[in-house]
Structure 1
Amino acid sequence: MMQLYDQFKRKIDYLRLSITDRCNLRCIYCMPKEGLDFFPKEKIMTQDEIIQLVKNFAAMGITKVRLTGGEPLLRRDLPEIISRIREIPSIKDISITTNGTALEYQAQKLKLAGLDRLNISLDTFDADTYRRMTRGGNIKHAMNGIRTAEKQNFKMIKINTVIVHGENDQEIPKFIDYTKDHDVNIRFIEYMPIGQEIDNWKQEYVPLTDILTNCQKRGLEIKTIQLPGNGPAQNYKVTGYKGSIGLIHPISNRFCDSCNRVRVTADGYVKACLYWNEELNIRPAIYDFLKFKETVQKALNNKPLNHEMAMTNTKQIISPAPTWRHMSQIGG
């Protein structure tokens, strides 16, 4: 079996695969206020295409697959997709990123299908703030989904919390305290300027560098921990708490040097870097392994050393323009 590497000799063993661009929410950092025109059905990869694509990547050294969206639980065939990926021997870890609003009804099916881990997006515990940040969502559905998932004994549940100035930054202590009685990993994520005007983004961006200081001011004893996997989060645990917290700060403390992932969008484009516009159409090559391998390697050969998000040094970028896609069209 071959192993994928980019031009900087970083080992690529993690696939982020979007299976739909559709979502039932309109989160402020994911879509524009007016929403988006979703791709027509024929533009989205079929189940068979998805499975063959994952088999191709598995033959090139990919061992971890995360299914994303949009909202992946909107695909009715999601359990079958997970089950078929589970049958690929070299895929050792399958996870999804979801807003959690349908987990109350689907968590058990996903666990039985072979899902290992969940990342659930939750940016607030306040019903009004949730409705505002998701542009109409009902927090009861999300919280019911989280409670249901916690009963299914997944290997790991992570809760993704994007911090936005003036919206939910004052709730950081509440999220930390949630880990006292819940065995989950709360991941605080810096708001990224993807699909946003830079000036607007700057007004809403909150660096995470002072979270640990604030914890110490509250008298909480914090220690560094290691969690399974090789993701970008720096993880910590409050002494005596069941769960843990993680900091993902792509802006204030960039983590690109250890990037191990490649992304494929729901319409079949391979992206080596989340931020930049560079992408190659891989869908026509799904059933031609040699062409598929060549396309993937070409994308990785153009993968920059650093995304340089919101920075001015773009000399390493082959196509120096931020992606036209919004976050919901990439999958995060």
Structure 2
Amino acid sequence: MLVDNYNRSFPYLRLSITEVCNFSCTYCLPNGYQKDGEKSFLRQDEILRLVNAFVELGVWKIRITGGEPTVRKDFTDIAKMIGDMTEVSKLAFTTNGYKLKENAQKWRDAGLNAINISIDSFNAKKFHDITGHNRMQEVREGIEKAIEVGFEDVKINVVLLKGVNDDELNAYLDYVKDTPVSVRYIELMQTGDNLTYFNKFHLSADHIKDQLIDKGWVENIRSNGAGPAVNFTHADYAGSIGLIAPYSKDFCTGCNRLRVTSTGDLRLCLFGNVGIPLRHMLQSDDQKDDLKAAISKQLDYKASSHFLALGDTGIMTNLSSTGG
């Protein structure tokens, strides 16, 4: 098992397979994806060697991310390749929901069993203003299809934006009244290119937490292998509400995940100051021992916390570049 100097273990890998995204969300890629030279994303054979090494180091949960991972034409093949590994008991992906309704069954059959869908507003106009696409109803239908085909863990990601969608909690509560999904409010995070936007739209997740407590919702104990969300439930609701508050005290004490970018760099933290190249060790099967040793060694350098509160966003330009 991968363990760092603060006795945190890491059974969870977030693997980006592309930086490309077909949405232009205001908080991430307001001008859309801009191609950066002739960047080459990890090939299937490289991904297989990488995942095999992490599995042998104790990883059992993998999330495929982007950009928007489903824009890769071989996304289903990549999912099936990882899904065929019996050691991976939880195989998730994060998506903007584009084409989810049409492909949910195929992706479930490939071995994916958990899904996070970004839907920052249930108001069609706001959704269009945030994402640049008039697809809110289409994405909602995709969520319903994911539930129908048997995804075991369905989550909706909502980036909390002051003055934009901070008044929509009741709409999401109405949705989870009878729908067994988790709506997760994510605090807007400062990145390398969004300081002005961050200062204008950042709002503490306490804005939502205080309302939930007032309405009788109860904070749950964090389960093994879970992500960073603090989860709230209510006896009268089928679904739940989660809060991801990276500026909160002790947010990093429960860190359990590592990240690999779409070009093969290991990131010890979403907001770390260095990326460790692994791609040169993904070219043949006989490099696996060196790869595993390199990954394990890097845990010695994982910091106790990010430094977002000090305005230090590390080397991450935007969320799409690192896998969110």
What band does the TM-score fall into relative to the shorter chain?
Answer: over 0.9
The structural deviation recorded for 1:227 is 6.7
Q: 1:259 to 1:216 in 2, by over 3 A?
A: closer
2:158 aligns with one of 144, 147, 161: 161
Question: In the alignment, does 2:238 pair up with 1:246?
Answer: no
CA distance in 2, matches of 1:322, 1:201: 16
Question: In the alignment, does 2:51 pair up with 1:48?
Answer: no
- Which amino acid letter does the alignment assign opposite residue 263 of structure 2? D
- Which amino acid letter does the alignment assign opposite residue 263 of structure 1? R
Report Cα offsets for 1:110-169 as digits up to 9, x if no partner.
111111101111110111111111123421221221121121121110111110112111
Residue equivalent to 1:224: 219
Question: In the alignment, does 2:300 pair up with 1:301?
Answer: yes
The structural deviation recorded for 1:290 is 2.9
Question: In terms of mean alpha carbon deviation, does 281-290 or 108-117 score higher?
Answer: 281-290
> Residues 175-324 of structure 1: matches in 2 within 5 Å?
175-217=172-214, 220-226=215-221, 229-286=225-282, 287=284, 288-311=287-310, 322-324=314-316
The structural deviation recorded for 1:91 is 1.4
CA distance in 2, matches of 1:69, 1:191: 18
CA distance in 2, matches of 1:199, 1:42: 28
The structural deviation recorded for 1:239 is 2.5
CA RMSD between the two structures: 1.9
- Which amino acid letter does the alignment assign opposite residue 278 of structure 2? I
Question: In the alignment, does 2:11 pair up with 1:16?
Answer: no
- Which amino acid letter does the alignment assign opposite residue 195 of structure 1? G
Report percent identity of matched pairs: 35
| Long gaps (5+) in structure 1 | 313-319
CA distance in 1, matches of 2:273, 2:185: 26
The 8 Å contact of residues 191 and 313 in structure 2, kept in 1 or not, is answered as: no
The 8 Å contact of residues 51 and 84 in structure 1, kept in 2 or not, is answered as: yes
Question: In terms of mean alpha carbon deviation, does 301-310 or 206-215 score higher?
Answer: 206-215
TM-score (norm 1): 0.90
CA distance in 2, matches of 1:294, 1:325: 29
| Long gaps (5+) in structure 2 | none
Q: 1:97 to 1:277 in 2, by over 3 A?
A: same
- Which amino acid letter does the alignment assign opposite residue 282 of structure 1? L
CA distance in 1, matches of 2:313, 2:256: 22
Q: 1:293 to 1:39 in 2, by over 3 A?
A: farther
Report Cα offsets for 1:171-193 as digits up to 9, x if no partner.
12211221102110011110111
Q: 1:190 to 1:254 in 2, by over 3 A?
A: farther
Q: 1:27 to 1:198 in 2, by over 3 A?
A: same
CA distance in 2, matches of 1:271, 1:259: 13
The 8 Å contact of residues 21 and 39 in structure 1, kept in 2 or not, is answered as: no
CA distance in 1, matches of 2:163, 2:60: 39
The structural deviation recorded for 1:310 is 2.9
The 8 Å contact of residues 271 and 299 in structure 1, kept in 2 or not, is answered as: no
CA distance in 2, matches of 1:195, 1:188: 22
2:2 aligns with one of 1, 4, 15: 4
Q: 1:216 to 1:58 in 2, by over 3 A?
A: closer
The 8 Å contact of residues 25 and 137 in structure 1, kept in 2 or not, is answered as: no
Question: In terms of mean alpha carbon deviation, does 295-304 or 14-23 score higher?
Answer: 295-304
Structure 2 SS opposite 1:5: coil
The 8 Å contact of residues 195 and 327 in structure 1, kept in 2 or not, is answered as: no
The 8 Å contact of residues 181 and 239 in structure 2, kept in 1 or not, is answered as: yes
